[in-house]
Amino acid sequence: MARLPGGAIAAPAAVVYFVAALQLLFPLATAATTQPSSCTTVSSVRACASSITSVISRTASASKFCSSVLGCPEPTTTTLLGTVTTTSTKTLTESYTWEELAGWTTVTHRYDWTETSTTEVATVTATPTWTVQKFAVTTVAPKKRYDPNGGEGGLEARAVTSVCPSSLQKRACSCLYTCPGPNTKDNQKTVKVVETETAYVFSTLYVTATEDEYYPTFTTETSSVTYTTTSAVFATHTRTVKCMPSVANPSFYLSATISPLPTPLPFNNQYVRLEPDFDWYREEGALFWPKYTPLKADGSVFSLDDKGRLVSPTVYGDHFSSTDDFNTLEPFYFLTRSWVQAHSTKDRGEGFGWDYLTCELAPPSGKYPGGYKELKCHGGYWNLTVFQYCPLYETYYPFGTVVGTIWEEEAPACYIITFLVVPVCGS
């Protein structure tokens, strides 16, 4: 042996050649295992291993030979079946905050005060699900091998030719071959599962509530109002109506008859007398109400113009029977031509306003004594045709005469008025 620099001893050349030969013939055994020290240091073991590699390599597989010498069991293969589930967890965080009152701050206003209350959020318990893996193990039976001696097969039963003494041959094969261990074949299907886990975070927010106090400042303001009441004093202006036997006079009085008769009797069989009202409209003498008098000589005189409008001459000019369009039961009054035209729906093109009543003198119905003609009128947006006396209207107006689309028998209770046409001349 040669000594290397530093004191190391170099191995003989024959030993180096033998180790290289082992690596060429048995690369798996020599690379995967650590050989005993006797493989290189004991000459008899080294010589036997060399004989095996030189003899067996020409007649059979050296690995099979050494497997038989070492008594290696038949290799087995374990196959893993089933499904492997790999679980990963994804965590979601949910935060909940509830407010808790920490104190009060008082602010003075001159308005209403408000107070804010808080409600605590309920606690939620999270219950995640975890998956555990289960293995299904199956062992595969070894294939039968050919046995030249007629046995059941396998390396243990076949005849083995000795190359070296049995004690050396087993030690030499230990240097050349390593019995294979069990083989595991993984045929499992891998499934990746991502589970979501919710983490709940609860926190408390301390807030300061504001209490508003309101202190109104009272101020007394005094204003002076003057109420004006009107007590009408009527002066009589007499206008002469001449009746000539040879000339027809279209003028007439209106006599009111009421049916059914109310109790007490208000103005049944009385004559219409127009009286001015200066409180309703700004125009002086614009409005006249129909009032009633028991004396025909005190009644107003009426006639129909060429358009069938009921007209009566007054000290303030001619006044025409009119009504407004706002309801189906409206006041019956007399207005000047200028006032009606200024407020008429037809002239202004608007939806509601004031309109004339168009009338005619109908033949006697035979219901009333005297055989007088009867006044029939219509007009307005709702086609008002029925004259009525409604006591309820006397609460809001200085009269109770209205005209409507139908007879209002109740709510409010009204009574039908028929105006009899009493000629000024010849009656």
7: β partners: none
Give the separation between CA 310 and CA 332, rounded to whole angstroms: 12
Which pLDDT does position 375 carry in this prediction?
Answer: 96
Give the separation between CA 306 and CA 296, rounded to whole angstroms: 26
Residue 88 has pLDDT above 60, yes or no: yes
138: β partners: 79
Which pLDDT does position 163 carry in this prediction?
Answer: 79
Q: Dump pLDDT digits (tens) for 40-76.
A: 788 888 888 887 777 775 545 778 888 888 888 887 8
Q: Dump pLDDT digits (tens) for 369-383.
A: 999 999 999 987 788
Residue 14 has pLDDT above 90, yes or no: no
Residue 134 has pLDDT above 60, yes or no: no
Give the separation between CA 109 and CA 148, rounded to whole angstroms: 115
What structural domains does the chain harbor?
Answer: 2-73+160-178 (no CATH), 252-423 (2.80.10)
Q: What percent of the chain clears pLDDT 70, i.e. is strictly above it?
A: 72
Which pLDDT does position 125 carry in this prediction?
Answer: 64
Q: What is the pTM of this model?
A: 0.47
Q: What rounded mean pLDDT belongs to the chain?
A: 76
Which pLDDT does position 364 carry in this prediction?
Answer: 95
Cβ-contact 282, 263 below 8 angstroms: no
Give the separation between CA 93 and CA 119, rounded to whole angstroms: 22
Region 81-102: what's the mean pLDDT?
Answer: 82
Q: Dump pLDDT digits (tens) for 186-231.
A: 888 888 888 888 888 888 888 888 877 778 787 777 777 665 666 6
Q: Which of the pair, 126 or 74, is modelled with greater confidence? A: 74
Maximum average pLDDT range among 73-82, 337-346, 363-372, 408-417? 363-372
Backbone angles phi, psi at 125, to 5 degrees: -100, 125
Which pLDDT does position 412 carry in this prediction?
Answer: 66
Which pLDDT does position 65 carry in this prediction?
Answer: 81
Q: Show the tokens assigned to 348.
A: 């202004």
Q: Show the tokens assigned to 221.
A: 């303001």
Residue labelled with tokens 């209205």: 402
Nearest in space to 25 (alpha carbons), one of 47, 72, 58: 58
Task: Lowest mean pLDDT of 2-11, 93-102, 111-120, 123-132, name the range.
Answer: 2-11
Residues 6+ apart with CB under 8 A from 51: 163, 164, 172
Backbone angles phi, psi at 346, to 5 degrees: -70, -40
Terminal alpha carbon distance of the chain = 178
Residue 149 CA, distance from chain mean position:
91
DSSP state of 137: E
Q: Which of the pair, 89 or 256, is modelled with greater confidence? A: 256
User: In angstroms, what CA-CA distances link 48 with 26, 35, 37, 63, 271?
Assistant: 15, 15, 15, 15, 163
Region 332-361: what's the mean pLDDT?
Answer: 80
Omega into 412 within 30° of 0, i.e. cis? yes
Region 279-296: what's the mean pLDDT?
Answer: 82
Query: DSSP of 252-287, one letter per residue?
Result: EEEEEEEESPPSS--STTEEEEEEE-SSS-SSTT-E
Which pLDDT does position 239 carry in this prediction?
Answer: 80
User: In angstroms, what CA-CA distances link 237 with 286, 299, 301, 325, 328?
Assistant: 18, 13, 13, 33, 36
Q: Which of the pair, 328 or 280, is modelled with greater confidence? A: 328
Which pLDDT does position 396 carry in this prediction?
Answer: 83
Nearest in space to 418 (alpha carbons), one of 407, 21, 427: 407
